[in-house]
Amino acid sequence: MISGLVGTVVGATFRTLDIIRIRPKRSSKPPVQKQINQRNKFGLVTEIVSRIKVFIDEGFIPKSKYLSPVNTAVHYNLNNAVTGVFPNFEIDFQKLLISNRKMVGVVDATVTAVAEGNVTVSWSTDDRDFA
């Protein structure tokens, strides 16, 4: 296991991999509009996903052993659920995905916007025995 800073080199463990990389530096250049857009979209998606992490951890199956369920959910929703143009990016809650697999026992799931920045998630349960 590698961990810590030695000069300009940083050692870390990411999932099961030991990684050595160059110490990152802050850029002296101001960000271009495309970078600003991506940062705003990313912030919007990560804010929502982090608030529903308990659902994401159960519902998303990563496509790689190096990704977490949250990484997978952010990637999907960043590419599919963000609408609008800078600075008015929004989440299209009809396209927001909190699971990429079938959730046994959950039927008729809905997400409803109830107020500025708030949603209600509701569902019914299937009473069948799945054993």
Q: Give the span between the Cα atoms of 82 and 34, in whole angstroms.
A: 15
| Nearest Cα residue to 77 out of 106, 43, 54 | 43
The length of the chain is: 131
| 12 within domain boundaries | no
58 occurs within a structural domain: yes
Q: pTM of the entire structure?
A: 0.70
- Which domain range does residue 45 map to? 33-125
What is the C-alpha separation between 104 and 86, in angstroms, rounded? 38
**Which of 22, 108, 17, 26 lies closest to 64, judged by CA?**
17
What is the tens place of the pLDDT at every residue in 64-105? 888 899 999 999 999 999 999 999 999 998 899 988 887 677
Domain count, the chain: 1
